[in-house]
């Protein structure tokens, strides 16, 4: 046998012994997991397999150390190292094989450490909601209510301003909106929108919910509309009500999500008598109380939510504007970031559609998207994203057209549970068609049904969508949630596509060390951008900060794996998640 051949055999041997160690460790992990599952019950059973990766990693390392110890076993060494030159070559190569794997593990360890350090840097700065906190505003009389700006099936939305706000400046101009950027610096910014003046005079929007059956007591209203409170600021409720909700006196207390650039922030929530607002008699007479319309069916009091006034919904914007190719990808990414934030906080929106996404512009004219309208969300404080579906009366959420296949096809039964952890990500996949200027495949024009479509029936996106983005959208629309990437992994794919082309072009050659180097470069760029003041692309900077704040090595690797595999395969099969 030639020395070259001997070396390659030695390498192989080294690898297979390592794999054997991994297999053994794997079976030990599996046994441990089984034992833990029995102990921890249903919550553990439904946990993501990724959650156990660090555990597996530790086992690999332990098994490798055990293996190294075995290698030092004197008899083994005497037999192989002391024999013929051929045996010595095999032994040398075997050691080299193990050494290479050690190096790989060391690289992984370093990359993990880099990720943790980057996360720690970016987590120091928390996202703050853009409007200055109001010191008051717990009563309807604290606001001037303007024209209606939107209407859904549960509420009407009006432009509004705080009472003091209308006082004109000395030069006769209305006072400018004091906006604080996401990192807390203050400045006056005017958003480039069609309804620019309206926004300047009415920086807020008040959503008045329609109250049919809840009764008119505060407790009953808060109890029946509690999901609308999920995106509320900690100071949104008057202190007395705050205490009541926290004590659970209003029934099931839903989770509250923390502030995020892509999720609406409700600044104030209060109950008040239903007023006669512009257009009420014509547009929603039936939901008015008898006091205002003798044939109206509504209750006397209802819930009001105060938010920032946005110039467009996503649907309105797409009807009148043509964003650039990059802006479209950035818009999809923002939706994924918003959904990932909700998932991490145990909330499923369940009614994502382009009407429920609001939009404004950053200083560079890039659209900033926020997810709004949490009326149908799943956000029980005690439960995860699993909904026991034991009767057909259990509410599966709104918007049947954009209901993920696993939700739409669920059949009620004794032990049936619907898992919503990837349902919103699926809806983002469907909305992405609209963002790229195509009809939503699950609306009437195309007519696919989420319950029955086949993946090959999905329309090919126009070439304006970059190939990597098309791959992300196709993966998001996979029928099986186990084969669908999570919102985080899909968002990571887009981050890599938008800002990590260099690392992707290296494809399989880009090891963990290169990835870590790229992450460090990105961090430096983002930190430098932050230092250069309010100029620069705010939405992009926000997204990059968010990405670095949420870094998880395994999710990043999965994203990279999908992209590299997708690029190699192009039209062939797409890998499982």
Ligand X SMILES: Nc1ncnc2c1ncn2[C@@H]1O[C@H](COP(=O)(O)OP(=O)(O)OP(=O)(O)O)[C@@H](O)[C@H]1O
Residues that bind ligand X (CB under 6 A): 149-155, 157, 205, 207, 307-310, 313, 355-356, 358, 372-373, 375
Rounded to 5°, the CA angle 455-456-460 comes to 105
Task: Tell me whether residue 191 or residue 493 sits nearer to ligand X (CB atom).
Answer: 191
CB of 349 to ligand X, least distance (A): 11
CB of 254 to ligand X, least distance (A): 16
CA distance 78 to 326: 63
363-to-118, 192, 202 alpha-carbon distances in Å: 27, 8, 20
CB of 141 to ligand X, least distance (A): 20
Task: Tell me whether residue 25 or residue 307 sits nearer to ligand X (CB atom).
Answer: 307
Task: Tell me whether residue 225 or residue 503 sits nearer to ligand X (CB atom).
Answer: 225
Helix (H, G, I), strand (E, B) or coil at 545: helix
Active-site option among 181, 233, 351, 373? 351
CB of 311 to ligand X, least distance (A): 7
CB of 365 to ligand X, least distance (A): 19
CB of 479 to ligand X, least distance (A): 25
Tokens of 129: 């909601």
Helix (H, G, I), strand (E, B) or coil at 305: strand
Of residues 267, 195, 204, 197, the one with CA closest to residue 231: 267
Across the strands, what pairs with 368?
Answer: 360
Residues in the chain: 577
CA distance 516 to 513: 5
Task: Tell me whether residue 156 or residue 387 sits nearer to ligand X (CB atom).
Answer: 156
Tokens of 298: 């509504």
State yes or no: is 142 an active-site residue: no
Cα of first residue to Cα of last residue in the chain, in angstroms, is: 43
Using only C-alpha atoms, the chain has a radius of gyration, in whole angstroms, of 28
Across the strands, what pairs with 151?
Answer: 156
Task: Tell me whether residue 199 or residue 494 sits nearer to ligand X (CB atom).
Answer: 199
C-alpha torsion angle, residues 377, 383, 384, 387 (rounded to 10): -60
Task: Tell me whether residue 148 or residue 345 sits nearer to ligand X (CB atom).
Answer: 148
Tokens of 528: 């430098």
Positions marked active-site: 351
């Amino acid at each position: 046998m030639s020395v070259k051949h001997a070396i390659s055999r030695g390498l192989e041997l080294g690898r297979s012994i390592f794999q054997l160690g991994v297999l053994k460790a794997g079976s030990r992990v599996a046994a441990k997991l089984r034992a833990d599952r029995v102990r921890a019950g249903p919550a553990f059973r439904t946990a993501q397999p990724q959650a156990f990766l660090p555990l597996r990693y530790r086992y690999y390392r332990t098994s490798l150390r055990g293996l190294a110890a075995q290698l030092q076993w004197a008899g083994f060494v005497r037999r192989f190292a002391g024999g013929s030159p051929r045996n010595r070559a095999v032994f040398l190569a075997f050691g080299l094989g193990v050494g290479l794997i050690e190096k790989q593990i060391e690289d992984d360890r370093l990359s993990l450490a880099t990720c943790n350090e980057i996360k720690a840097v970016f987590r120091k700065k928390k996202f703050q909601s853009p409007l200055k906190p109001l010191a008051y505003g717990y009563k309807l009389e604290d606001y001037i209510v303007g024209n209606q700006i939107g209407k859904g099936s549960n509420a009407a939305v009006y432009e509004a301003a705080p009472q003091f706000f209308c006082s004109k400046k000395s030069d006769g101009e209305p006072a400018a909106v004091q906006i604080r950027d996401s990192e807390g610096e203050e400045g006056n910014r005017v958003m480039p929108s069609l309804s620019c003046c309206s926004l300047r005079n009415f920086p807020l929007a008040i959503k008045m919910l329609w109250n049919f059956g809840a009764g008119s007591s505060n407790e009953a209203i808060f109890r029946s509309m509690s999901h609308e409170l999920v995106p509320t600021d900690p100071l949104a409720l008057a202190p007395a009500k705050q205490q009541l909700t926290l004590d659970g006196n209003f029934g099931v207390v839903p989770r509250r999500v923390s502030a995020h650039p892509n999720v609406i922030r409700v600044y104030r929530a209060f109950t008040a008598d239903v007023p006669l607002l512009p257009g009420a008699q014509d547009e929603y007479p039936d939901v008015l109380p008898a006091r205002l319309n003798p044939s109206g069916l509504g209750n006397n009091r209802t819930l009001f939510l105060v938010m920032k006034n946005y110039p467009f919904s996503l649907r309105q914007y797409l009807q009148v504007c043509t964003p650039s190719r990059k802006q479209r990808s950035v818009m999809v990414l923002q939706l994924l970031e918003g959904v990932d934030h909700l998932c991490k906080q145990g909330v499923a929106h369940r009614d994502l559609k382009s009407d429920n996404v609001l939009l404004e512009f950053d200083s560079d004219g890039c659209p900033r998207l926020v997810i709004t309208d949490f009326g149908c969300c799943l956000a029980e404080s005690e439960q995860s994203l699993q909904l026991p579906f034991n009767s057909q009366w259990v509410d599966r959420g709104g918007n049947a057209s954009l209901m993920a296949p696993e939700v739409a096809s669920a059949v009620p039964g004794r032990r049936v549970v619907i898992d919503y952890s990837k349902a919103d990500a699926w809806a983002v996949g469907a909305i992405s068609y609209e963002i790229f200027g195509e009809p939503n495949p699950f609306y009437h024009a195309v007519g696919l049904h989420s319950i029955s479509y086949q993946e090959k029936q999905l329309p090919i996106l126009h070439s304006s969508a970059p190939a990597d983005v098309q791959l992300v959208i196709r993966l998001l629309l996979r029928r099986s949630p186990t084969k669908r990437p999570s919102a985080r992994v899909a968002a990571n794919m887009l981050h890599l596509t938008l800002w990590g082309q260099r690392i992707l072009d290296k494809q399989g050659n880009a090891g963990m060390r290169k990835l870590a180097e790229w992450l460090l470069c990105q961090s430096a760029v983002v930190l430098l951008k932050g230092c250069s003041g309010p100029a620069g692309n705010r939405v992009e900077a926000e997204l990059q900060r968010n990405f670095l704040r949420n870094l998880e090595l395994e999710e990043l690797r999965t994203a990279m794996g999908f992209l590299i595999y997708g690029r190699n395969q192009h039209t062939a099969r797409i890998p499982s998640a």
